[in-house]
Amino acid sequence: MMMIVWFIVLVFCPGPLRTQLGTTPNIKHIVVGRCYNYITLVNPDLRHDCEVIWRHFEEAVVRQSSCNVTVEDYNKMFYAIPQTWPCDRSLFWSKTRTLMHSYAAVNPQFWTLEDTLVGYMFNDLIWCGQEEDSGFDFSSCPEWSACRNHPVYSLWRQASQNFAEMACGNITVLLNGSIVNAFNKKSMFGSVELDSMNPRRVDYVNIKVVTNLEGPFTESCSKGSIVDLIHILQSRGFRWTCTDNDQTLMILQCIQNPEQPSCQTCVNSLLHRRG
Ligand SMILES: *[C@@H]1O[C@H](CO)[C@@H](O)[C@H](O)[C@H]1NC(C)=O
Ligand SMILES: *[C@@H]1O[C@H](CO)[C@@H](O)[C@H](O)[C@H]1NC(C)=O
Ligand SMILES: *[C@@H]1O[C@H](CO)[C@@H](O)[C@H](O)[C@H]1NC(C)=O
């Protein structure tokens, strides 16, 4: 998932371009090991062949110019990883990665992309191939922004699309109200996931807008790009709710930052309630 954050940083934040490292060392051991870990310990009901998944992955990436791996190149790999999950659990997020992790940790019913087998296997990894060579390029990989068909982006794009297509029942979207364009049409959520959600499968899109405790308080359910998101949802026939200042999220932020003035009242009222 780090890669998604990098992607967002690299593509959507103006600033000097960053040079990327090459393919993560030991990538095969990491990916295959995580796969076995997942199907053995995390989700033992799955019957997947980790070696076959790896082989399809490798075939998609190597012997290709490092900027020329399309979503379709991963078709075989995704075909080898069918996965379904129960309704009412999907958690989407954009620019709220740290908080999303604590939120998912205290609400184990939530499923993020990282909880799927693909997300679990490739989280935080970098990879690219090289033309006329049967191996990965361990010395350098292009930046996301340098490519139309970046091998890492293409995989996450397809994984995100599958994740959103599968979403059903109530889904939750965590957006960052401390930034302009909390709903960014170029983010993975705005460009891929939103378009892949099916209003006939989804009961409610429950949006939660969360700001930093100290502000800025830039966007909210009634202000800024989130209003655009709500219009899009409405026009596509989704039912939705939108919450500013969700109490659970605020408590999670206060745990990490108890000195914040806004947390003092929160803590005091909890103590009083208990006393
Ligand atoms: C990109 O891939 C396609 C199909 O695999 C191939 O036809 C094309 O020549 C490749 N382009 C580059 C620049 O490698
Ligand atoms: C909102 O985004 C800013 C800038 O990326 C980040 O520093 C901050 O932690 C985010 N806030 C939340 C609540 O995720
Ligand atoms: C789905 O969300 C709606 C609106 O927030 C809520 O009324 C309903 O109880 C939720 N259903 C489930 C199963 O969580």
Report the pLDDT value the prediction gives residue 131, as an integer from 0 to 100. Answer: 86
Tokens found for residue 11: 């593509």
Active-site residues: which are they?
87, 168
Report the pLDDT value the prediction gives residue 15, as an integer from 0 to 100. Answer: 37
Half-sphere exposure of 238 (CA within 13 A, CB side): 28
Ligand 1 centroid vs 233 CA: distance in angstroms? Answer: 37
Judged against a pLDDT cut of 70, whether residue 84 lies above it is answered with yes
Report the pLDDT value the prediction gives residue 18, as an integer from 0 to 100. Answer: 46
98 contact partners, CB below 8 Å, separation of at least 6: none
Q: Which domains does the chain have, with CATH numbers?
A: 18-266 (1.20.82.10)
Q: List C-alpha distances in Å: 265 to 102, 250, 259, 268, 273.
A: 21, 12, 11, 5, 12
Return the best residue to mutate from 87, 201, 204, 240 for the ligand 3 pocket (most ligand atoms within 8 A of CB).
204
What pLDDT digit, counting tens, does each position of 42-63 carry?
A: 999 888 999 999 999 999 999 8
Q: Which of these ranges, 52-56, 133-137, 263-267, has the smallest mean pLDDT?
A: 263-267
The share of the chain scoring above pLDDT 90, in percent, equals 75
Ligand 1 centroid vs 133 CA: distance in angstroms? Answer: 14
Judged against a pLDDT cut of 60, whether residue 267 lies above it is answered with no
Average pLDDT of the segment spanning 92-106: 93
Asked whether the beta carbons of 2 and 124 are under 8 A apart, the reply is yes
Q: Output the average pLDDT for the chain.
A: 89
